[in-house]
Amino acid sequence: MCGRYELNATPRQIAAGFGVLDVPDFAPNYDLRPTNRAPVIRLDRGGARQCELMRWGLIPSWAKDTKAGNRCFNARAETVATLPSFRNAWQRRRCIVPASAFFEWPTLDGRKRKLRIARRDGAMLALAGLWEYWKARDQPDAEGIVSYTIITAAPNADIAPYHNRMPVFLEPAQFDAWLDPARGDGQALLAPPPDGLLVAADTDVA
């Protein structure tokens, strides 16, 4: 799973790394959690990439309230195309979530440890995700919420010692194929990254 992640990049770095013109102002967050807002990359109606602040935890458009998002901060690669919570977003609304690192809390040597997991080369992570728009039906004047989920898959050798799931990563050459569902069903992109891409650092925080 991916229940916490870090984003310490600047808006300029995100713009350059993900090919977008404008990135909303945001403060670095070293402990992003579900319900927090963070920058996410998606396609606009014209097919160009844009960056928008979204709420972490996908709220299905048919949900009665925002509580559904508390359970939908991750989507499993094996079922994301078929589960009602994610099916519509899978078909139409894919996104990329920039991250500097993500965290796991395995028990090592009899002690629970907080591991910071990042790319070995120091580059930003591009996490595969889906986004959705939700608005309360009984509050027509209320503002809608744009939310997202991060897709997870079986781990590669880097993560397997610590957890049985990991976020799906994309490389820049895969961005267009992922963001535009018309280019394919996307399932081929939901594979673990090559072994050796990631490195885990013990933060020594229980």
**Residues designated catalytic:** 2, 104
3-state secondary structure of 15: helix
Q: Exposed e or buried b for every residue in 133-144, given b needs 16+ CB within 10 A?
A: ebeeeeeeeeee
Cα(61)–Cα(67) distance, integer angstroms: 12
Cα(172)–Cα(124) distance, integer angstroms: 11
Which residue matches tokens 């770095």? 13
Q: What is the DSSP letter of 18?
A: H
Q: What is the DSSP letter of 169?
A: B
Report the candidate in 133, 136, 126 with the shortest Cα–Cα distance to residue 148: 133
